[in-house]
Structure 1
Amino acid sequence: MTAAYTLYAKPGFAATTIERLCSEARISNRAFYECFGGREELLQALHERCVEESLAVVAKAVQEAPNTLEGRIQAGIRAYIEFTTADWRRARIMHVEVRRSGDVLTMSRQRAVDAFARLIQEASADFLQVAPLNRRLLALGVIGALQELLIEWLLADEQPDIDELVDAAAHIFMRSLGSPEPA
């Protein structure tokens, strides 16, 4: 899994063969197939591990945040962005390779988005001021915005500063969830 974590991040899932994975991991092809049905299954396991770890970090940050919408949003976004960007491989697997892998991660990605949407809905339920709008759709919209900000961080010639990402994402979240602009 360690070899896949690096190789699937760069050169990427499509460019990584089983032979290359096994060579990097110093295992036989047979040993690989005793653990995984194929490289797609390995990518799914890596993606799900990254998502589970991210969800745990964000949930803890939101739980420990001040009991305000802004406090929860700031804490959750900062925790997610800092955790995700702390290891570029994690960021690439979760935000670039998940899209490049085609149908391989469709269900895994959907489960991840659903889990993050529920987390956002729960964290903001007591504070939302936008009654007529579908709260799930709002959560999905802000998740999409955050994903695009992280893709920009990964692929830009000049990476935006982490604080800039947090500020932009917090602004989007606060405005989208119907609260006045952050103080």
Structure 2
Amino acid sequence: MTAAYTLYAKPGFTSTTIERLCSEARISNRAFYECFGGREELLQALHERCVDESLAAVAQALQEAPDTLDGKVKAGIRAYIEFATADWRRARIMHVEVRRSGEVLTLSRQRAIEAFARLIQDATADFTQKSPVDQRLLALGVIGSLQELLIEWLLSDGRPDIEELAEVAVHIFNRCLGDD
């Protein structure tokens, strides 16, 4: 898994062969297939591990955050951005390779997005009860904006500062949730 963590991040999932994975991990192809059905299954395991760890980090931050909409939004966003960017490989697997892998991670990606949408809805429910907008769809929209900000951080030549990413994401969330 360690070899895949690096290789799937760069050069990327589609460029990483079983032979290269096994060579990097110093294991035989047979040993690989005793653990995984293929490189797709390994990518799914890596993605799900990253998602589970990020959900845990965000949930903890939300639990410790001040009990205000602003406090929850800032804590959740900061926790997610800090977790994702603490290791560029994790951010790349979660936000770039997940999309480039085609159908391989479609269900895993959808489960992750739904889990984050529920987390957002639960954390903001007490503050958004009067909103006329569907809260699930709103959560999906703000998740998409955060994903795009992280993709910009990963792929741009002039990588934005983490603080700037967090500030922009908080602004987007607050505007969408009606807390200017």
Name the counterpart of 1:50: 50
Name the counterpart of 1:15: 15
Q: How does 1:4-153 map to 2 (within 5 A)?
A: 4-128=4-128, 131-153=131-153
Once superposed, which parts of structure 1, at least 4 consecutive aligned residues long, lie more than 2 Å away?
A: none
C-alpha change, 1:159 and 1:130, in structure 2 (3 Å) is farther
TM-score (norm 2): 0.99
1:136-177 CA-to-partner distances (Å, cap 9, x unmatched) read 000000000000000000001011000000000000000101
| Partner-residue secondary structure (3-state), 1:132 | coil
Letter in 2 for 1:73: V
What is the aligned-residue RMSD (CA, Å)? 0.7
Q: Structure 1 stretches of 5 or more lacking a match?
A: none
Name the counterpart of 1:156: 156
TM-score (norm 1): 0.97
For residues 45 and 65 of structure 2, what CA distance do their matches in structure 1 show? 30
TM-aligned CA deviation for residue 96 of structure 1: 0.2
| Partner-residue secondary structure (3-state), 1:158 | coil
Identity %: 79
Residues 130 and 178 in structure 1, CA contact (< 8 A), matched pair in contact too: no
1:86-116 CA-to-partner distances (Å, cap 9, x unmatched) read 0000000000000000000000000000000
Residues 51 and 94 in structure 1, CA contact (< 8 A), matched pair in contact too: yes
Letter in 1 for 2:33: Y
1:30-69 CA-to-partner distances (Å, cap 9, x unmatched) read 0000000000000000000000000000000000000000
1-10 vs 170-179, which deviates more? 170-179
For residues 66 and 159 of structure 1, what CA distance do their matches in structure 2 show? 30
Residues 130 and 177 in structure 1, CA contact (< 8 A), matched pair in contact too: no
For residues 177 and 131 of structure 2, what CA distance do their matches in structure 1 show? 10
Residues 2 and 25 in structure 1, CA contact (< 8 A), matched pair in contact too: yes
Letter in 1 for 2:82: E
Aligned length: 180
